[in-house]
Amino acid sequence: MRLLSALVIGALLATSRVNGGIQQPPPAAENPNPIVFPSVSAYALNKARVDLPAGLAGQVNLLLLSFEREQDKDVNTWLPPAKDLQKTNPALQVYILPVFNRENLLYRWWENSSLRSSVSDPEWLQFTVPLYVDKPRFLRELKIPSDHAVVVLLIDKAGKLLWRSDGPITNEKQASLVAALAPASPNGGH
């Protein structure tokens, strides 16, 4: 049993670098099957259609995925540092993506209206995009083991995963994100 546990742990560590809730995907040479954000059509809270990932505004996009209302407080820990990063990196766009199971139109209308009324800054209406998806499949495609915590993804324009973390922001997570963004900054990280 110990040998099996050691093999499983070794395999997990070989496929991702995990450090305090921060996971760096292996370099492309080590990862022939990179994680790619699945294609999803949705509507932002400003009612504009968004085709993810191709229709996202940034060359790199920071996606704050939440799965339960109670996770809003953790999403909010990421917003001030993310806004600051946008100021220094014009290639970056931040999105808030509440993720729900597919529901009927009445439920979607009710949920979207509730979300719309909770947004204090009107600018965020265009960058808050509720996703109504087959949640188990969506989680599997992104290799997210659980919906019990906020998941933060940095993806490129094609949807390829560049960096990930989960839970509320910490200094370590913020430093890791800044390092992951360095290649996308206007001066190449210098």
Q: What is the pLDDT of residue 117?
A: 84
Residue 63, phi then psi, degrees to nearest 5: -105, 120
Instruction: Give which of 156, 159, 163 is closest to 39, Cα–Cα.
Output: 159
Q: What is the pLDDT of residue 124?
A: 87
- What residue spans define the domains of the chain? 17-183
Q: How far is CA 1 from CA 4, 7, 8, 144, in A?
A: 5, 10, 11, 26
Q: How many Å apart are CA 103 and CA 124, to the nearest integer? A: 23
Please report, in angstroms and rounded to a whole number, the separation of the first and last CA atoms in the chain.
49
Instruction: Give which of 149, 136, 184 is closest to 38, Cα–Cα.
Output: 136
Q: What is the pLDDT of residue 104?
A: 81
pLDDT along the chain (190 residues), means of 10: 36 39 52 87 95 96 96 95 95 96 86 86 90 96 96 97 97 96 66
**CATH numeric code, 17-183:** 3.40.30.10
Q: What is the pLDDT of residue 5?
A: 38
Q: What is the pLDDT of residue 14?
A: 36
- Tokens 């290649």 — which residue? 183
Q: What is the pLDDT of residue 59?
A: 96
